[in-house]
């Protein structure tokens, strides 16, 4: 079919003036403005306070904070901040575990291992400290660092040599912070030698972020002695003593408890006694423990507890047949 006679196809372009373009209605304009405004508002992850609250709610797994630290420099700085770590620990859990020591080449390593299976994947090296053993002759053969206890997130170690106590170390296993304390001459004039049976305790009333005190107790000739170090002043206080009646030979127990504002140790001798230290006034007293003669017969362990009443610690006596007796002080 011949289409040469068909009319040509005309293409017209229609133009519209600005007056003919319809204006946006109020609802549509509001939606568009809201979208723009929302785009300008910061994300919760951009506000440090909100981000900290979000990160505090991460599960207490070994990988939680390390993974969060890989997101960016800002997140890494936040999750490694000491204040954030204290809040994280206070919100989630208190680690339960054991301290162990190992010695090699004149150094001693003290590490903390978790007992929980969930936290068992954390290597002990993460919470460890390596200290040098310095004996009287400069070597480490006659020296050992002994674990004295931990309280309020701090650990107390004593450097004991055959010539007495040389140094003490207050260590925070989580932050790695260390405070090395020199020990003054605590020689007992009646013995003319430094004390060897010395026990120590660290106290931090405001948690591991505040000032701390170190109290040491040792036995003398018919007397018990105590001295307290304060991190606020950086010096040791005066030695305070209390007589131990009719007892020529006794030792200070290795474990202690805090009740109120007082620190307590057991004094082992022909008769059990309790040494009380008022941490505020820094004075001491010896409390008699009038137990029946056979109360501690065949025991396999004695320790102080805060389970009882009467304003002083109770005495827990553990027997070999897996039984325990709780002796507490009763007021008349």
pLDDT recorded at residue 213: 92
207, two tokens: 């948690």
Distances (CA, A) of 56 to 44, 79, 207: 14, 9, 19
The pTM of this model reads 0.65
> What CA–CA distance (Å, rounded) separates 11 from 157?
96
pLDDT recorded at residue 202: 92
The mean pLDDT values, 10 residues at a time, for the chain of 332 residues are 51 51 50 53 70 86 83 90 86 69 68 61 64 55 75 85 79 83 70 67 76 88 88 90 76 84 87 88 86 68 77 78 77 62
Cβ-based neighbour number of residue 303 at 10 Å = 17
75, two tokens: 């997140």
Distances (CA, A) of 232 to 21, 53, 111, 168, 320: 77, 32, 28, 17, 45
Is 56 in a helix, a strand, or coil?
helix
Rounded to 5°, the CA angle 202-306-288 comes to 90
Rounded to 5°, the CA angle 132-135-140 comes to 55
- With tokens 């507490």, the residue in question is 328
> What CA–CA distance (Å, rounded) separates 65 from 86?
13
As separate numbers, helices (DSSP H) first and strands (DSSP E) second, the chain gives: 5, 19
> What CA–CA distance (Å, rounded) separates 24 from 64?
50
């Amino acid at each position: 079919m011949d289409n040469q006679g068909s009319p040509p196809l005309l293409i017209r372009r229609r133009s519209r003036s600005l007056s003919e373009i319809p204006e946006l209605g109020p609802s549509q304009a509001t939606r568009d403005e809201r979208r723009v405004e929302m785009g300008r508002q910061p994300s919760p992850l951009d506000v440090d306070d909100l981000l900290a609250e979000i990160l505090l709610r991460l599960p207490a797994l070994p990988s939680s904070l390390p993974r969060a630290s890989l997101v960016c420099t800002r997140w890494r700085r936040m999750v490694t901040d000491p204040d954030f770590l204290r809040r994280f620990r206070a919100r989630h859990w208190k680690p339960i575990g054991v301290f162990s020591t190992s010695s090699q080449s004149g150094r001693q390593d003290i590490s903390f291992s978790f007992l929980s299976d969930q936290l068992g994947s954390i290597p002990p090296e993460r919470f460890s400290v390596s200290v040098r053993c310095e004996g009287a002759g400069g070597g480490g053969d006659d020296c050992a660092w002994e674990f004295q206890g931990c309280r309020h997130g701090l650990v107390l170690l004593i450097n004991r040599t055959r010539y007495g106590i040389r140094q003490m170390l207050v260590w925070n296993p989580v932050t790695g912070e260390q405070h090395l304390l020199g020990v003054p001459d605590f020689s007992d004039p009646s013995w003319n030698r430094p004390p060897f049976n010395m026990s120590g305790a660290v106290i931090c009333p405001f948690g591991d972020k505040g000032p701390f005190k170190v109290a040491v107790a040792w036995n003398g000739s018919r007397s018990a002695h105590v001295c307290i170090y304060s991190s606020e002043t950086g010096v040791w206080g005066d030695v305070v003593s209390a007589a131990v009646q009719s007892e020529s030979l006794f030792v200070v127990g290795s474990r202690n408890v805090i009740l109120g504002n007082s620190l307590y140790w057991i004094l082992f001798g022909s008769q059990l006694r309790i040494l009380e230290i008022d941490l505020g006034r820094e004075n001491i007293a010896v409390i008699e423990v009038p137990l029946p003669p056979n109360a501690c017969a065949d025991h396999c362990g004695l320790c102080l507890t805060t389970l009882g009443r009467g304003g002083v610690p109770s005495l827990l006596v553990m027997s070999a047949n897996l039984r325990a007796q709780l002796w507490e002080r009763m007021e008349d």
